[in-house]
Structure 1
């Protein structure tokens, strides 16, 4: 399945809900992004914020596995969603 921007936003919103409901990861996410609890609702539809959700989630394989298993997604889908959102430039390692 191709990753469309609409699908990427849906995956990001699912990830945001998953993070918000995770007592261990929610504080880590808020601390790492500088977002507050009120920001979760206010910025949920902002593609840049959605990208930060997916970037945070994909930092740890165990988080990706837990999220994807809960939502019936392939393990590649969160990262593919991140790259389908605005601001995901190519990474150059040289």
Structure 2
């Protein structure tokens, strides 16, 4: 996945998360981010990676996000890998 496509998908994830009244406070509490941070860092690839990291912590969250956007379940992981810090480690 190209980085621009990954950022677009992550922005969709951020918007979905922002509209989720149950999950948004969990994200804010877990990351220490504020609503202002979400607004000002919406185009920051590192922050967007953290949004995807958070959503991918629970399969139900991935499924809900993907179903709301008409995405395949593997697309958030592909997007995360294309953003800074998302490359799979090479242990060899």
TM class, shorter-length: over 0.9
Q: Do structure 1's residue 66 and structure 2's residue 74 form an aligned pair?
A: no
Specify the alignment match of 1:47 in structure 2.
Answer: 45
Gaps of 5+ in 1: none
Counterparts in 2 of 1:22-41, with a 5 A limit? Answer: 22-41=20-39
Distance 1:58 1:17 in 2: 15
What value does the CA root-mean-square deviation take over the aligned residues?
1.4
After superposing on structure 2, the runs of 4+ consecutive aligned residues of structure 1 that deviate more than 4 Å are none
Q: Deviations over 1:57-90 (max 9, x none)?
A: 1010000111000100000000110000011243
Q: Deviations over 1:22-54 (max 9, x none)?
A: 011000101111100111110000011000000
Distance 2:83 2:13 in 1: 14
User: Matched residue pairs, number?
Assistant: 92
Return the TM-score normalized by structure 2. Answer: 0.94
Distance 1:5 1:60 in 2: 23
Gaps of 5+ in 2: none
Q: Do structure 1's residue 11 and structure 2's residue 14 form an aligned pair?
A: no
